[in-house]
Structure 1
Amino acid sequence: MAHCDPVPWIEGPPPAERPYALTGGRTEPSHPLDLASLVKARDPGPAGPTEPVQAEIVGWCRTEPLSVAEIAGRLFLPVQVVKVLLGDLLTTRHLIPSMPAGTNYVNRDQLERLLVGLRNL
């Protein structure tokens, strides 16, 4: 006889809406995003989004840039769902990508010199 654990594996009440219902069943974001991608709200942005979850995201991103991982954690939603929602907000220009302070892009010449240096080792 199998023992059934009476303790539920999910804490708190079940979500009011299934996660993928928030995206209309879509699983691919319209913009390439990874866990560390930062987004921030446009200032001033267009009229607020009509979906409550998206409005909440835009509200959080008004005070500081947030990563995909942070937003997923705050919403208790799967990362892929959050990426789709963020992609929609980027498309409608409610959010814009944000680069961390001090981010420097390496140009092709620097990469080629680095590669030559590594090959000479």
Structure 2
Amino acid sequence: MRSRRIRPYALTGGRTRTRHHLLVETLVSVPRYDPAVAEALMPESRSLYERARTQTSIAELSAALTLPLGVVRVLVSDLAAEGAIFIHPTAYAYHHDLHVLERILDGLKRLPV
């Protein structure tokens, strides 16, 4: 990782918007890990790529790497645009599909209190 003196906006080139809708609970993973891809990435993106080898959430990545959530969202979105990271669909992706929303609600009701 780089020095903490680097401002977050420098890591994203000043960008705050993402290409993908990423919620804190959005899960991401690396479909096919490639060491050559890892080597070509900047240190922060490489750390995200390495951590996402096992399915993990945006919030977990932010906490584990002590990077601001907005920075993680931008960098993960960039990695996804390159095909390096897979973004798993969330309930947001199905917000118009009543069948899926009903299944989610049923699952939540079955959770122990």
| TM-score (structure 1 length as normaliser) | 0.66
The structure 1 segments of at least 4 consecutive aligned residues displaced by more than 3 Å after TM superposition are 44-47, 104-111
Q: What residue ranges of structure 1 are gaps of 5+ in the alignment? A: 1-13, 112-121
Partner in structure 2 of residue 34 of structure 1: 23
Q: Supply the RMSD in Å over aligned alpha carbons.
A: 3.0
Name the structure with the higher helix share: 2
- Could you tell me which of 29, 32, 40 is aligned with 1:43? 32
Q: In the alignment, which of 46, 66, 79 is matched to residue 56 of structure 2?
A: 66
Which one-letter code corresponds to 2:84 in the other structure?
Answer: H
Cα distance change, pair 45–31 in 1 and its aligned pair in 2 (3 A): farther
Moved more, 80-89 or 43-52: 43-52
Matched pairs, number:
95
> Which residue of 2 is the match for residue 53 of structure 1?
44
Partner of residue 70, structure 2: 80
Percent of counterpart pairs with the same letter?
33
Name the larger-Rg structure: 1
Q: Which residue of 1 aligns with 2:12?
A: 23
- SS of equivalent residue, structure 1 residue 48: helix
Structure 2 regions of 5+ residues with no counterpart? Answer: 102-113
Q: Deviations over 1:34-72 (max 9, x none)?
A: 00000001215584152111111111111x111000001
The alpha-carbon distance between structure 1 residues 44 and 107, as it changes in their structure 2 partners (threshold 3 A), is same
Residue 53 of structure 1 aligns to a residue whose secondary structure is helix
The amino acid of 2:48's aligned partner reads I
- TM-score in terms of structure 2 length: 0.70
